[in-house]
Structure formats: structure tokens, C-alpha cells
Structure 1
Amino acid sequence: MTASTLSTPPTTCAAAPHLQVTWTDPVTGRQGFVVVDRLVRGVASGGLRMRDGCTLDEVRGLAAGMTRKEALHYDPANRYVPLGGAKGGIDVSPHDPEARAVLGRFLEAVRFLLRHHWTTGEDLGLRQDTLDEIIAELGLDSSIEAIYPLLDDAAQARRRLADAFALDVDGVALPELVGGLGVAESALTALDHLGAPRGSARAVIQGFGSMGGATARYLARAGVTVVGLADAHGVITNPGGLDVERLLLTRDPHGGIDRSQLGKGDVEAPQDAWLDIDCEILVPAAVSYCITPDNQSRITARVIAEAANMPTLAEAEAALHARGVLVLPDFVANSATNAWWWWTLFGDVEADAEQADGKVRSSMRRLTTIMLDDAQRLGVTPRRAALDAVDRKLSEIDARFDRAGQHPEGGSSDAEQ
């Protein structure tokens, strides 16, 4: 692979990923990374992000998180069998004039993984339509073509997914809603666990893109008062409640709130003020590592639902847990987008918004309830309880499929040769 290095970590380390790729752009010197944490039936799943400062360690952590998201949704009754976990990242700002060209060269460099082992999609800093355009320019069929050999009827499955992507729910595309619906359902389940009434609960969401925007919509529709929204330009707050639908339908493609649409009583505040607003539910939905040991004491929420990947540092989570705050880990709370893609592709749900809504809600409520009940029973954090559930699910998958990454027909994975 031109201008890249591949490293397969020692198999003696249980936590080591299956494969790591570090690529250096021959034009700009920017680096990109792919980490395959685990293969199941020769394939792993995980999005591709673009951000200035992205590192291999970051991508490695995200890939491990994808293994957990996939495993948690394993149900032998489903047609969808969870894949392994993977992630990609490029150290470039999506606003850099060279970003698209760097992305194209990166995808060309990892073409083999895309065709055979890594299914990917949009993530932080990268839209799916941009990814699809470049994939087509490179002559690749799709960003998820590695999964096609696992489908009974790939053509029919692709039509079903395309039809689902074309669905609109009250002015917003269905694929932009399912992830936030899952986050909202997880947070609402936590409120119920605490015995806190939804009608008197308040929520603050940091980030108003597809994940944060949809979370705000479904919390508001459940009766929760959304009192704060943060975007890249600052915070909008209103103790009486923000008009989520108006702001949602007038935001820009990057999740920016149109300040001309602010209502009576809406107030602008500095960018980090989202941490200080009194609320019962706090949803970090924008960036990683934003809740730290230094700022966690400012949080008044009883529930933190991690819509972003890795937003809470471990020391901060320990301090929050010590004062009774439920931190719903990212690999549980924000797992619905990934699961919905595969439920639709494999045929567990049709291209139908009501079916998607029902499947997401029931699955997220079940997973969150199990996690919180186990955490309470064992006296551990929700994250620890969820990790134990992941271990159980991985053992079930291992018992059904070859852990070494074999393809279903029994041939060895090319990545291991």
C-alpha cells in the first residue's frame, strides 16, 4: 500500500486490534488511519471521520467501541448477525480546501480493505453523500460492499436500504433520525429507571447535527423540555423550552442554528455554557473528550447520554458516578444508527419509518434496562455492566462463528495472509 504502513499487533495482547493501518498522504503529508478491532465472518464495520488532530489512538478506541456496538445488538432470532468493529480517521479538517482530495487518496490507498473487509459510512466531519461521490469516482461499488457476500440477495438488500434512505419523517431524512431516536429512548429509559417523570424533565444537547438534532426532537416529543442547544457558534438557552422543530428544520448542513429563527425568551450564551445549565438529561452529541475531571463538577444532570463517541474521560465518569449521575456509555446510547443500517440491509425491518421507529425503541429500551438493572444489582457503573454484556454477546458470536475471521465458506481472511 503506497505511502502507508501496516501493523498487526501481537496476538498475545487480548486488547490488541486485529489490524492497524497508518497512511501518509504523499501530497500533503497528512495521515489517515484504519483500525480493524475484530473480524466476524471476515468483515468489520465502522465509520470514517475527518478532523484536524485525529490520531491513531483515537481511531483505535473508536474501533473497539464499534465492536461493542455490534455485539450488543446480537440476537440469534435476527437475520442480521453483527460484524466485527472497525473505524477510520483522517487528520484533516473537513473545511480544509485540500480535504476532499486527501479523502480521495486515502480511500484509494485502502481500497482493498473497503472491497473485502471494512464497511464504512459517514462520521464526524464527513457526510455520506461526499463519501458516496468519491467511492463512485474510484470505481468502487459502495462504501459497504464488503458485506455483500454475507447477504442472501445483495441486489434486493441494496434496493431496500436505498428506499429506506429516501424516506422523510416530518422534514428530516430517516437515516438522520434513527441514531438520535436511540439516544433519546436510552435517556428516557434511564429517567424511568430513576423514577423521574418525563413531563418535568429538562434536557441540554451539545451538538445539533444529525445525532443531536434527532435526540432533541424525540426528547421534546416525549414531553421533555429542551432548555439548551449548543452548536459550533455558541449556546441557545430558554428555561421555558426551545422550539426544537423550528430550529431543527432551519439549521444549516453542519448543524448550525439559524439565529434569525430564535423565539421569544431564547438567549445566546458562550460556547461552554452548556455544562452549566440546570437539567436532568445532558447529551454530549458533538465532540470527544469534552467532559473532563475539571469541568464535570459543573454538571447538574442526573443522566448523561453519550450521543458522541468517547465524550467523557474516565476520571470524570468515576466522579460523576460517585455523585449518582448515570452515564449511559456511547456504545450503548448511540448504537442505533449502526444497527438500523444492518437491520434494513439484512431484512429485519423493511424500508418503513414506523418499523424502524419500533425496532429502535424496543431494542434501545431493552439494552438500556438490562444495563441499568445489572449496574444497580452489582453496584457497578453502567459502562461496566454494559461491557460485561458485550463479553457475553461476543462469546455467543464466537460459539456460532469462527473467531479467527473466517469467511462463511471457510476460506481464510485475506487480511491474515
Structure 2
Amino acid sequence: MPAPLLSLTWSDPITGRRGFLVIDRLVRGVSSGGLRMRAGCTVDEVAQLAHGMTLKEALHYNPEGKYVPLGGAKGGIDCDPRDPEAYGVLVRYLEAMRPYIESFWTTGEDLGLTQDTVDRAATDAGLVSTVQAVYRLLDDEVAARARLRDAFAIDVDGIGLDELVGGCGVAESILTALDRAGVAYEGTRVCLQGLGTMGGGTARFLDRAGLKVVAVADVKGTIANPDGLSVESLLAARDAHGTVDRSMLGAGDLELPGDAWLSVETDVLVPAAISYAIDPGNQDQITARWIVEAANLPVLPAAEELLTRRGVTVLPDVVVNSATNAWWWWTLFGDIEASADQAFAHTRRSMRALVSGILERAEQDGTTPRAAAHAWAADQLPIIAERYP
């Protein structure tokens, strides 16, 4: 991984908690990457994520599109988002990062934070917007900002559109892989670690496509039902952090230990919560044929090597969870309007083409989907740099 353009560490003057910002690459002077908050977050973790954002941006480059990929970046705060002091830490972090956000870093929600929380804290920190650095690249800033605002106001069956597009992209990645393998949707079993924004959206789309969600895990443990869980009931019973109210479980639902999600009998395993969840020590418990990385960095490289040896396909995060970031820019730059139908259709079309291309390249090169995705991005980056020096 190349050295980033900028890496800095901030210390909160009140609590002593630390925050990080890493700018991996700039395109037209701007970078893109979310802000995460979790206890134990490190600058190395943020640097890996920032480089991943560079790859995600490059993978979605379409020379005929209005959205021009940006550079990659990431922010992180070492703090439990449930801590009573977390919001104050977030506001002070954004105050400290204000010059970077105003100039060249566009950001939004990531692990541990919702977009509503980030937006509220940004206002309290005196920011116009967390994506204001990109405004100077827009042909019509007023119309673009109105389009994005209207898109974020759209509600789909009780859930905000912004909370669903990422899950739509993950689900389409899975459906594409099943189609290429000739596997029917009906009855295909899925287990998800995490039922927050990304995991919840993924579960909803897969359930409606006919797949059977047999287990989900949150901070309280694993909920399983070999006959299939009621996804809509679980979504209605979760809190803002994706934790399910156990009093709302169905009669046949089982409560299992926290790490039981790893060994559930399933066809597709979707880590959609924390980074570094699957390591060499626990990968042998996994029964799934596919691991689909809805979270960032959930599978350690050494674990992926062992999984690949025993025939498990890992669809990488830089591809699978890239739709949320892309949707922001498709909407802001004007490739799509503020419409749920357009958002889902464009996401499905783009993700199906991308995943199909990555899987085909991996097959042709005799390598893994991750290596194929990195090679694809490496091909795109010099083209972007030449067009936008």
C-alpha cells in the first residue's frame, strides 16, 4: 500500500480520546471517505480504509458519467459511540477537521455513526456541510444540493433511502454471484453479522429476492432460525445501533452466543459490522460458500488465504459496499434524480456490471476477486490521473 498524502492524529482536549484523518489520494483536489467511531480505532486502520476508498472511487469510474471519481480518504475516532461523551467528542473532532472538510475532504456516516448524527454534529461544529469541498466541482451547485437534500428526505417503507442503497448494492453483489454460479435464490441461506444500516438493508433486499435469512448477530449475540427469520420483524425491533429487542423474537427463533454466527449452516455469510471479524483462528468454523464483505476490512488477509484454499469465495469490501458512496455522487453530480426507483435501478445495474466484471477477471487471471478488483482499480487510476491531473 503506498504512503498516503496526509496522515494526522488529533487528541480531544477534554477527554483525551484520539481521532485520525488520512488522505490517501486527491482527484481534482478533493477526496471522499466516511467517518467511523469505535473503541480501539487506530490510524493504521484508517489508512487502510482510506486506500480502500481510493480503490472504490476508481472502480466506479465511467468516462461517460457526470460523476467523476474523487480521491480516497477516511476519518476515525477512538471512542465507543454509545459513550455519553461520544457526541461531544465528535463535534470537537469536526471542529478541528473543519479546514480539511472545507477544502478537500468530503465525509459522511460510517461504522458507529448515522448520517443524521454526523450532520447534526457538523452543524454544531460550524460546517455548512460535510461534503462542501466538492461544491466547487459542480456545474449547478444550487440544483445539485437540492437534489441530494431531496434524496435524503425520501422514505421507503419506513426506512430512509440513504439507509437502503448500500444494502441494495450488497444484495445485488450476492445475487450476481449466485446467478454466475447457477444457484437459485429461493432457499439459499444467508447469515449476517450486523443489522445496522448496511446489514439491515442487505437483509431486506435478500429476503424480498427469496433468499432465506437464517441468522443475524448483534452486540447481544446471535439470533437464528433454520427455517428462516422474519426480517421485517427484526428490522422493526432494532434500535439505532442495530441491536434487536429480544422480547420481539418469533416463537421458533433461537438465541445463541455472540460468535455463533461464524458456524451457522449457511450458503452466504455477510459480515456487515466490525473490521477484522474473521481471522485465521476462527475461519475454519465457517460453512458458507461465499463471504460477502458488507463491512470494511472484516476478513484478515491470512484468513482469506486459508478460506480460498478450501474453496470459499470472498467478495471484497472495495466492491461490495461501494454503492453508498457512489449513490451520493451519482445524485449530487446528476447521473440520477432524487428518486428511489432511479437510485435502486442505477445501483443494481452498476453493481451487477462491476461484480460480473470482477468475477470474470478473477476467473480469467486465476486469482481471487480481491486481487481482480485491485487490478481493475489499478488500470483505472492512471486513466483518471491523465484526464484530471
CA deviations 1:287-332 (Å, max 9, x no partner) are 0000010111111111111000000000110111111111000010
1:1-400 to structure 2, matched below 5 A, reads 15-400=2-387
User: What is the match of residue 412 of structure 1?
Assistant: none
TM-score of the superposition, structure 1-length normalised? 0.92
Look up the equivalent residue of 2:39 and give its one-letter code. D
CA deviations 1:147-202 (Å, max 9, x no partner) are 00000111111111111111111121110000011011101111122222211310
Partner SS for 1:242:
coil
Which runs of 4 or more aligned residues in structure 1 lie more than 2 Å from their structure 2 counterparts after TM superposition?
none
Give the C-alpha shift of residue 97 in structure 1. 2.1
CA deviations 1:206-241 (Å, max 9, x no partner) are 000010001111111111110001111111111111
Give the C-alpha shift of residue 83 in structure 1. 0.4
Give the C-alpha shift of residue 113 in structure 1. 0.3
| Residues 178 and 185 in structure 2, CA contact (< 8 A), matched pair in contact too | yes
Query: What CA distance in whole angstroms lies between the structure 2 residues aligned with 1:273 and 1:120?
Result: 34
Partner SS for 1:76:
coil
Look up the equivalent residue of 2:357 and give its one-letter code. I
Look up the equivalent residue of 1:391 and give its one-letter code. A
Unaligned ranges ≥5, structure 1 = 1-13, 403-417
Give the C-alpha shift of residue 343 in structure 1. 0.3
Query: What CA distance in whole angstroms lies between the structure 2 residues aligned with 1:257 and 1:137?
Result: 30
CA deviations 1:245-264 (Å, max 9, x no partner) are 12112311111112222113
| Residues 22 and 31 in structure 1, CA contact (< 8 A), matched pair in contact too | yes
Residue correspondences, number: 389
| Residues 165 and 324 in structure 2, CA contact (< 8 A), matched pair in contact too | yes
Percent identity of paired positions between Structure 1 and Structure 2: 60
Partner SS for 1:198:
coil
114-123 or 133-142, which moves further after superposition?
Answer: 133-142
| Residues 171 and 249 in structure 1, CA contact (< 8 A), matched pair in contact too | no
TM-score of the superposition, structure 2-length normalised? 0.98
Query: What CA distance in whole angstroms lies between the structure 2 residues aligned with 1:26 and 1:127?
Result: 24
- Aligned CA RMSD, in angstroms, stands at 1.0
| Residues 95 and 126 in structure 2, CA contact (< 8 A), matched pair in contact too | no
